[in-house]
Structure 1
Amino acid sequence: MRFDGVGGGFMDERRADGRWTYADAMQRDPWRRGIVRRAVRRISVLMAWSLIAGVVIGFALPWVSAPVGEHVGLRRAVGVAFETMESLMVDDHPDGRGYDRASFDYRGTDDDGDGCDVRDEVLARDMTDVRVDPSDGCTVRRGVLEDPYTGSTIRFTRGSRTSSMVQIDHVVALENAWRSGARGWDSQTRRRFGNDQHNLMAVDGDANEDKGSASAAYWLPSNTGYRCRYVARQIAVKSEYGLSVTTAERRAMTRVLGGCPGQALPDTDASES
């Protein structure tokens, strides 16, 4: 071999057959061999540090602040709503036998004694520009609903063909409540639940019918911006009445709450829409 005055190393000489191997080059050129060894050491160190960093980040991500969690796309469900959900009993064998919607006596009570139907009270609460029939001071004739489930605006007018555009939803459906524990309640508790305005909301009629009696495991509002508050309200109601959740329902709630760290429960003194 001969010295390369430009590169400062030794040029490789070919073998007799006109070819040379990588091993030949490394053996003949100490300068190049040193570069390779240093590169290997550096790569090994970088890989070790990357592994350590991955472990540290894996442990730290569940506890990072919400903005950081949103930036990296990994968030942990925390907050009062999540903690309350964790306290709910899990029952993966709910019993729906004997369910009868009439047993909840929906619209059969007048708890505040004002003579108004609970449907009209919820309509008046949840809509704007409300017009009430002056003859009774109760019947809602028209109003504007900013529907939380779809995010759409509905101009409500009472009538045989139009009233169904806005319906009153039991956020925790009556049949779901029955399967989750209401089956064992007395009639007074069922009646209170069926007319509890904390569990009632004026919503888009089609969305309400699409939901049916489904839990959060099988149905969530198409308006993704409302899902956290929807799930939080279900949790609040189930906690208040001692109702259970299924494993699938709990997982669905956890996924939703992962997108809103710190989610609180709705105010029990005034419904939130």
Structure 2
Amino acid sequence: MDQRAQTWPARLRRSQPVRDLRTEPRCVPPPYGPRPPRCPRSPPCCSPPPPPTPPTTGDTIALPVRDALAALPVQDEDRTGYERTKFRHWIDADRDGCSTRAEVLLAEAVTAPEQSTGCQLTGGSWYSPYDDTYFTAARALDIDHLVPLAEAWDSGASTWTAAERQAYANDLDDDRALIAVSAASNRSKADQDPTTWQPSATGYRCTYATDWVAIKTRWSLAVDPAEQTAISATLGTCPNAPIEVTLAR
């Protein structure tokens, strides 16, 4: 042995076997097309993960309400061509004799009314959260589309089919879509969005803004810039509560 090798410091001596690169697994680029991403030093070879699949109709999503608001498309409103009759409403979808209006009154009654032939309701009591008021007569209540029909039209429903607009106008699958409220509060609201109208019951405003975002998310509706600003300002004073929404379209 070379005498010099015996005097080399131990740290300079080769302590690992020589790697035979011919026998190590390696990533082989395809013969054609773009070069694949750089592979790690050790096998197995890697490939980029597939992009997430966007949610589709029928999927249920859950996210903080402020994130949901930020995810809504922003565009100017256009009411051209709107007519309320383009949203067929108060149908009897399950053919049980009760219209959508009656179904909401039955579902939201504080004390249940008596139901007679033709789904006529007598007695019972209801709470109107818009103005923090109780009622004991169904005729004193309106069924409000939380996001009004005209607002839905402005925000994207103008491109829907007649069947989709009917489904929106009679949406019993999400408890937030239709709400029994006093006739006075509903007519005060009319077709306004949160930019120009808020419930007089201030304690309900966080719920109102949160539910507004949930319904717009459910139906893939847009918000206009002023509407987005107004809702964001309200939600800034509220818990960033999670919303769970089943997409209707």
TM-score, normalization by structure 2: 0.69
Q: Is the 8 A contact 2:113 2:125 kept in 1?
A: no
Number of residue-to-residue matches in the alignment: 181
Tell me which residue corresponds to 1:217. Answer: 195
Tell me which residue corresponds to 2:31. Answer: none
**Structure 2 residue 126 is matched with structure 1 residue 142:** no
Q: Distance in 2 between matches of 1:245 and 1:81?
A: 14
Name the SS for the 1:149 alignment partner.
coil
Name the SS for the 1:130 alignment partner.
coil
Tell me which residue corresponds to 1:122. Answer: 104
Q: Which amino acid aligns with 2:72?
A: L
**Cα distance, 1:266 vs. partner?**
6.2
Q: Is the 8 A contact 1:228 1:263 kept in 2?
A: no
Over 3 Å counting, the alpha-carbon distance change for 1:95 and 1:232 in structure 2 is same
Select 1:82's aligned residue among 38, 61, 66: 66
Name the SS for the 1:140 alignment partner.
strand
Over 3 Å counting, the alpha-carbon distance change for 1:145 and 1:267 in structure 2 is farther
**Cα distance, 1:262 vs. partner?**
2.2
Which runs of 5 or more residues in structure 1 are unaligned?
Answer: 1-78, 158-162, 269-273
Q: Which amino acid aligns with 1:255?
A: A
Q: Distance in 2 between matches of 1:189 and 1:142?
A: 34
Name the SS for the 1:244 alignment partner.
coil
**Cα distance, 1:97 vs. partner?**
1.0
Tell me which residue corresponds to 1:105. Answer: 88
Tell me which residue corresponds to 1:35. Answer: none
Tell me which residue corresponds to 2:136. Answer: 155
Pick the structure with more helix per residue: 1
CA deviation vs aligned residue, 1:55-90 (integer Å, no higher than 9, x gap): xxxxxxxxxxxxxxxxxxxxxxxx711110110011
Q: Is the 8 A contact 2:114 2:124 kept in 1?
A: no
Select 2:78's aligned residue among 65, 83, 95: 95
Q: Where does 1:143-222 land on structure 2 (aligned, <5 Å)? A: 143-157=124-138, 163=139, 165-197=140-172, 198=174, 199-222=177-200
Tell me which residue corresponds to 2:216. Answer: 238
Name the SS for the 1:178 alignment partner.
helix
Report the aligned-residue RMSD.
1.6
CA deviation vs aligned residue, 1:248-269 (integer Å, no higher than 9, x gap): 111111111112122232676x
Once the two structures are overlaid, the 10-residue window that deviates more, 169-178 or 113-122, is 113-122
Tell me which residue corresponds to 2:12. Answer: none
CA deviation vs aligned residue, 1:178-229 (integer Å, no higher than 9, x gap): 0110000011100000101331100011000000000011111011111111
Q: Distance in 1 between matches of 2:115 and 2:126?
A: 18
Name the SS for the 1:143 alignment partner.
coil
Which runs of 5 or more residues in structure 2 are unaligned?
Answer: 1-62
Select 2:242's aligned residue among 258, 261, 264: 264
Q: Is the 8 A contact 1:104 1:194 kept in 2?
A: yes
TM-score, normalization by structure 1: 0.63
Name the SS for the 2:123 alignment partner.
strand
Structure 1 or 2, whichever has the larger Rg, is: 1
Higher relative contact order structure (alpha carbons within 8 Å, sequence separation ≥ 6) = 2
CA deviation vs aligned residue, 1:31-57 (integer Å, no higher than 9, x gap): xxxxxxxxxxxxxxxxxxxxxxxxxxx
